[in-house]
Amino acid sequence: MLMEKLNINNYVKRKKEIAFQNMDQELVLLNLESGVYYSTNKVGQRIWQLCDGSMNIREIILKLSDDFDKSSDDIKNDVLEYINDLINEDLLSLYS
């Protein structure tokens, strides 16, 4: 999926077949279907936590902006790119 197709009004949700474990400032993910492991830093960990289907991408960006004291304009492209990567790796579902 190309990032241009992501709409900040879309919702994202963790897929059920993804196991995850928070480890201090890191998050480890395991795709139970493919057996592939992933790890991410503190920011990626927070994005993953927020991708529970209750907020759209715009709301996630605003929440991260508050959490990390950064402007939403400064983080928007990075968040969209990260969410796009998670979708491409089949870790998140996108819906409207």
pLDDT-derived band at 1, boundaries 50, 70, 90: very low
pTM (two decimals): 0.91
- pLDDT tens digits for 10-61? 999 999 999 999 988 899 999 999 999 999 999 999 999 999 999 999 999 9
Are 6 and 94 in contact by the 8 Å Cβ rule? The answer is: yes
pLDDT-derived band at 4, boundaries 50, 70, 90: low
pLDDT for 62 beyond 50: yes
The three-class DSSP label of residue 69 is: coil
Q: Give pairs for 24-29: CB < 8 Å, separation 24+.
A: 29/91
Domain locations in the chain as residue ranges: 3-16+42-95
